[in-house]
Amino acid sequence: MPGGPVITPLSCRLGMPEWQLGVTVSAAAGMQGLLTGAALFLLLVLACLVVGFGTFTALGFIQNTASFIIMDRFHLDEVAGGQLSGVVMLAIGVGMIIAQAVVVPVTQWAPPMLLRVGAVVGTIGFVVMLPEAELWVMFVSALLIGLGIGIAIPGYTSGPTMLVERDEQGGLAGLIGATNGLTYVLAPTLSTLFYGWWRPLPVIVSVVVLGVVAVFVLAHPAFRNFRPNSETAVKEEA
């Protein structure tokens, strides 16, 4: 069978049988496809990890500076400040419970949508916390922060797992855990350092970080073209 206008002349020039040249070209094309798929997979997983890092960093900032913010804004001593900061943490926890027990199951949004909505709501919560307003405003902002981050976290933890095969889940879980652990190291150190420089700075940085996460999730092609792994998707549906 003739090799065609490309294979035949190239076969003569290289001194290679047409069938062998055809197999070589096909193998090269297949390898290029595999490399492209691997690069896309890494891009998707890394994008999810970056989003998770930003989300948990913003959460860590408010967890570690809430008591300082309350004591300085409302001129309270350590005891009263500690008690009210506990109420703020409670508001964040309530927001996360509402998000994960009500919003996520009812809406059944895909991971990219969870990340988009969660990052936007969380950013709004931090913006509300910026001005030195009444105490109830801080509770509302804490509730919004908990609601937003509570919506985003399932998207961050489930999104990457839907992109890998079953035997790759353990390694991915390790990457997610390491990413979370890194925020637990950096957030307390940086938030207290920033607060010492300028009191509003930790909240401003949280607004910027979570705002960047929101823009990143809205604009990045890894989230706009999100396609779950077929095997994992079947398992999730079951």
Q: Could you read off the pLDDT tens digit of each residue along the chain, which spans 238 residues? A: 444 454 455 445 545 555 444 444 444 444 444 334 455 566 677 778 888 899 999 999 999 999 999 999 999 998 898 899 999 999 999 999 999 999 999 999 988 899 999 999 999 999 999 998 888 999 999 999 999 999 999 988 887 777 677 777 777 778 888 888 889 889 999 999 999 999 999 999 999 999 999 998 888 777 777 766 654 444 444 4
What is the distance between the alpha carbons of residues 8 and 17, in angstroms, rounded to a whole number? 9
Residue 92 in domain: yes
The pLDDT, as a whole number, for residue 179 is: 86
Q: What range does the domain containing 64 cover? A: 47-237
Residue 134 in domain: yes
The pLDDT, as a whole number, for residue 219 is: 86
Residue 90 in domain: yes
The pLDDT, as a whole number, for residue 7 is: 47
Residue 179 in domain: yes
**Residue 188: burial class (beta carbons within 10 Å; 0-12, 13-18, 19+):** middle
Q: How many domains does one find in the chain?
A: 1
The pLDDT, as a whole number, for residue 147 is: 97
Q: In this structure, what are the phi and psi dihedrals at residue 163, rounded to the nearest 5 degrees?
A: -105, -10
What is the distance between the alpha carbons of residues 185 and 174, in angstroms, rounded to a whole number? 16
Residue 33 in domain: no
Residue 23 in domain: no
Q: Which residue type does 109 have?
A: W
Q: In this structure, what are the phi and psi dihedrals at residue 21, rounded to the nearest 5 degrees?
A: -65, -40
| CB of 147 closer than 8 Å to CB of 103 | yes
The pLDDT, as a whole number, for residue 201 is: 95
Residue 194: CATH number of its domain = 1.20.1250.20
Residue 17 in domain: no
| CB of 166 closer than 8 Å to CB of 129 | no
User: Half-sphere exposure (CA, 13 Å, Cβ side) for 39?
Assistant: 6
| CB of 209 closer than 8 Å to CB of 62 | no
Residue 199 in domain: yes
